[in-house]
Chain A
Amino acid sequence: MQKLGDFRVPNFFNYPPYFTLQPIRETREKQVQLWKELILDYCRSQKVFIIGLEEEFPLFSNPAIQRSLSHESREVFLSALVSEGRAEWIDKNHRKCLVLWLRIQDWADHLINFVRENGLEDSVMTVEDIRSGIESRGTELAGIDRGVLIRALKLLEQKGKAAIFKGSSTDDEGVKFNV
C-alpha cells in the first residue's frame, strides 16, 4: 500500500482513469465522491486548511502511476466540496480553497469541549494560546487555521458563550469563555 507521509491512500488513487474527468455522468459522480472523501480525509489527517490549485499538493499527482490532475479536475473536485459547505473559495479566481473538514459549527463544539475539559470556563485565553498552547496539544485544535478559529469563536460569541477582546496587535486577541 502506497503512503503519503503517514497517510494511507485509497486504492483508486493508483488507478489511472481516476485522474481524468469522466464524461459519463454516473461514473463521474462516483469519481467526484471518491475524490471528495480523499481530500477531506487527507486534509484532516495532515491538518491542511488551504489548498492552492496552482501549487504542488501531494494528492494532485501520483508519481507511481505518472498521472496528475488537470487544473479543471482540481477545480471540479473542490467545487463539489464547496457546494456541500465543506470548502470555500478564498478568491474569486478559484486559485485558493479553504477546506473545512470540520464545519465551523463543529469547530465551535470542539472549542466548548476543549474549554470544559481543561477547566477554562470563565478564564481568558489568547487566540494564539488556543492554536499552539499546551492545552491544545494533541487535540484537533492544535494548529487550527487562524481564520477558521476566529469564525468559530465569533459563532460562540453570537451565542453568548464567548467574548472576544481586541488587543493592541493581532497576536494577542483575547477570548473569555462563558460556557
Chain B
Amino acid sequence: MRRRPGIAGLQTAAAARDQYRLVGENVAKIRTDLMKEQLATFKSQLEEFAQKHKNDIRKNPIFRSQFHEMCAKVGVDPLASKVGFWAELLGIGDFYYELGVQIVEICLASRSHNGGLINLQELCSLLSLRRKAVREAISEDDCLRAISKLKVLGSGFEVISIGKKKLVRSVPTELNRDHNEILELAQGQGYVTAEEVEKRLSWSSGRAMDALETLLKEGLAMIDDGHSDGKRRYWFPCVASVFVTAGVD
C-alpha cells in the first residue's frame, strides 16, 4: 500500500488495519469451531469404539496393545488419569494398577533368588500363573505398560534390553556396559566362565574378574564349582529360563 501523506492517509491506514483484523479473527474463529467440532466427533467416535470393543480390549491382549497403539498415535493416554472417562469406560486404569502391584510383589518375592533382575518373559508367566483365577490373558506389552506406570513411584523399576531379551530391574543397581555384555553372553547357556568372557569379549582377565565379582556381589550371579572340568561357572538366574518358580508362590 502506498503511503499517502496527511491525516486522511493515516485514518485510511488505521481503518484498513481494523478490517484486516476483523477478517482474521473471523477466520480463526471458524477454524477453532471446526476443530472443536472435529474433536467432539473424534472423541465420541473413540468412545463409541471403546464401548463397542470393551470386551475385546479387556480380554484380548493383542487387541489391547493395538488399541493402545492407536491411542498413542492420536495423543490420547487411556492410563493418564484414573478419573478420566477411560477409567470409567473400561476399568482399564485399575487393570494396570493391579498388574503393577502384582509385578512389584513378584519382583520382591524372587529378589533373593535373582538379585532383583528378572526376565520379562518369566515375569509374564509368573504373572499369568498368579492371575489364573481372573482368566484374562496377559501379554508382555501389558507388563511393560504396567511397569511404565510404576515409574511414578520412583522406586527404580526399569526395563533394560540385553541382547534379544528384556529384563526388568527392581533394584537400583547400576549395570554398566561390561555387565550388560556378560549378561548377553550368558543368555545362550545360562552361565559363563571367566575364560569365555575373556575370549569372546577380548577382555583382560582383570576386567572380566572385576565385572563377574560385581555381578556376584549384587546377587545377580551364582557360582558353580561342580563341573568336571573344574572351571568355575557363573550362573545368572535372571537369564536362565530353566528355573522358574522357586520362592514365588
Are A27's CB and B222's CB within 8 A? yes
Assuming A15-B235, A16-B233, A66-B228, is B223 touching A34 (CB within 8 A)?
A: no
Q: Is B206 an interface residue (CB 8 A)?
A: no
Bound-state Cα–Cα, A37 to B141, Å:
36
Label chain A's interface by main secondary structure. Answer: helix
B235 touches A30 (CB 8 A): no
Report if A14 contacts B (CB, 8 A): yes
State in angstroms the CA–CA spacing of A31 and B206 once bound together: 28
Which stretch, A18-26, A79-87, A122-130, touches the partner chain B? A18-26
Does B235 contact A16, Cβ atoms closer than 8 Å?
A: yes
Residues in A neighbouring B216, C-beta threshold 8 A = 23-24
Would you call B224 and A30 a contact (CB within 8 A)? Answer: no
Residue pair B243, A15 in contact (C-beta under 8 Å)? yes
B246, A11: Cβ atoms closer than 8 Å: yes
Interface of B is mostly: loop
The reply on B113 being an interface residue by CB < 8 A is yes
Q: A10 in the interface, Cβ–Cβ < 8 Å? A: yes
Given contacts A11-B246, A17-B233, are A27 and B219 in contact (CB under 8 A)? yes
B227 on interface, CB distance cutoff 8 Å: yes
Report whether B226 and A66 are in contact in the complex, using a CB–CB cutoff of 8 Å.
Answer: yes
Question: Please, which residues of chain B bring their CB within 8 A of the CB of A24?
Answer: 216-217, 219
A165 in the interface (beta carbon within 8 A):
no
Residues of chain B in range 92-132 having any CB-CB distance to chain A below 8 Å: 112-113, 115
CA–CA, A23 to B225, complex, Å?
Answer: 12
User: Which residues of B sit under 8 angstroms from A23, Cβ to Cβ?
Assistant: 216, 223
8 Å CB contact of B227 from A16, A26, A30: A16
**Counting CB contacts under 8 A, is B138 at the interface?**
no
